Amino acid sequence: MEQKIIFTNHVGESIDDIVGQLGSPAVFVLCDVNTQSFVLPVLQAQSGTVAAAKIISTRAGDASKDIEALASLWKSLSDLGATRQSVLINIGGGVVTDLGGFGAATFKRGMHFINVPTTLLGAVDAAVGGKTSVNFNGLKNEIGVFANADAVIISTCFFNTLPQQQLLSGYAEMIKHALLQSKDMLDRLLAYSVVYPLFDSEALLGLLEESVAVKQNIVAQDLTEKGLRRALNLGHTAGHAIEAMALKYQSPVPHGYAVAWGLVVCLVLSHMELGFPSETLHKIAAYVLENYGAHSITCKEYPELISLMRHDKKNPSPDSISFTLLKDIGQPVCGCVVSEEKIEAALDIYRDLMHI
């Protein structure tokens, strides 16, 4: 079943409509401490449903998306009398929608839930597509289920207060979707300025709608990631390795920045393995360098990066390293096994392109 996604800057009204259609007798809202301070009061003023809802709060930040936070959510739902017919409205970024989605999907074997993403990264990725999870045993998103929200309500009206770094982080996932879709979509994204002072939230809502449709179309064909959904991993094999290594050496980078650098590595490999056009590779590399800067990688770090790629949970077997690559824009090929020598050569070219 395709997930219902509503693009609107009248969020309160949409929440009232959807909850009315669900006919839920009781409504709960999950926020983190940031969305509780900054977003909840706005929605309480706009929506009778939110104004009357019982509020459950969780800590902010990926480190708090854990089993304790999940148990605390279940306990609040239970103590406050939630039933299978109740609805949980998750208001926040990926931490809140992942945690709240998993909590709702498992509470009494599943209650209704609605996602209201408040970050660009959440809107374009985490809140849509039915992946829910918590971190466990030191591993990210280790425990979770595929469960579609009853609805996802996407608005750009919450983004005005986001730091530029967070906007750019989400924008990298939009560039990934455009690479999977069409040259036209990519050109429109590269021409738009997601950073202040040129941020135009109406235009961004239109671009977001196109971008989310790319993911929605893929997920509708392969919710549980048996095949085609692996295309959404474009840029993530190298990106996750860069992100994990930066975290290990105490200089964490935003997820979308790692994806942007990972996309450059992936397009280099796509050129080497599948003849992806060099002109587009250079265009993306220049865009990434200008907007995300250059993430420095030294030759000495290659073995550790490659080991992280080998053990990426999306890699089907540690005996080989598999990438989603592109023949051209809109032509992904999943499961491309690439040798370590070629990955090292691609990292060399990444460093040249990033002027490192």
Should residue 125 be labelled a site residue for ligand GLY when binding is judged by CB under 6 A? yes
CB of 131 to ligand GLY, least distance (A): 5
Nearer to ligand GLY, 303 or 316 (CB): 316
Nearer to ligand GLY, 65 or 131 (CB): 131
Should residue 229 be labelled a site residue for ligand GLY when binding is judged by CB under 6 A? yes
Nearer to ligand GLY, 111 or 219 (CB): 219
CB atoms within 10 A of CB 30: 30
CB of 65 to ligand GLY, least distance (A): 15
Which one, of 287, 190, 288, lies nearest residue 242 by Cα?
288
Should residue 232 be labelled a site residue for ligand GLY when binding is judged by CB under 6 A? yes
Should residue 92 be labelled a site residue for ligand GLY when binding is judged by CB under 6 A? no
Q: CA–CA distance from 277 to each of 149, 150, 187, 271 (Å)?
A: 38, 40, 15, 6
Please check whether residue 123 is in contact with residue 204, taking contact to mean a CB–CB distance below 8 angstroms: no
Which one, of 179, 294, 173, 190, lies nearest residue 242 by Cα?
294
H helices of 23-133, in order, are 33-38, 40-46, 48-52, 67-79, 94-106, 120-121
Nearer to ligand GLY, 29 or 219 (CB): 219
Which one, of 36, 49, 51, 38, lies nearest residue 112 by Cα?
49
Q: Which of 12, 101, 103, 129 binds ligand GLY (CB under 6 A)?
A: 129
Nearer to ligand GLY, 172 or 321 (CB): 172
Stretch that binds ligand GLY, among 92-100, 108-116, 125-133, 140-148 (CB under 6 A): 125-133
In eight-state DSSP terms, residue 196 is T
Measured CA to CA, the distance from residue 86 to residue 22 in angstroms comes to 9
Should residue 124 be labelled a site residue for ligand GLY when binding is judged by CB under 6 A? no
Nearer to ligand GLY, 40 or 154 (CB): 154
Q: Which residues bind ligand GLY (CB under 6 A)?
A: 125, 129, 131, 229, 232
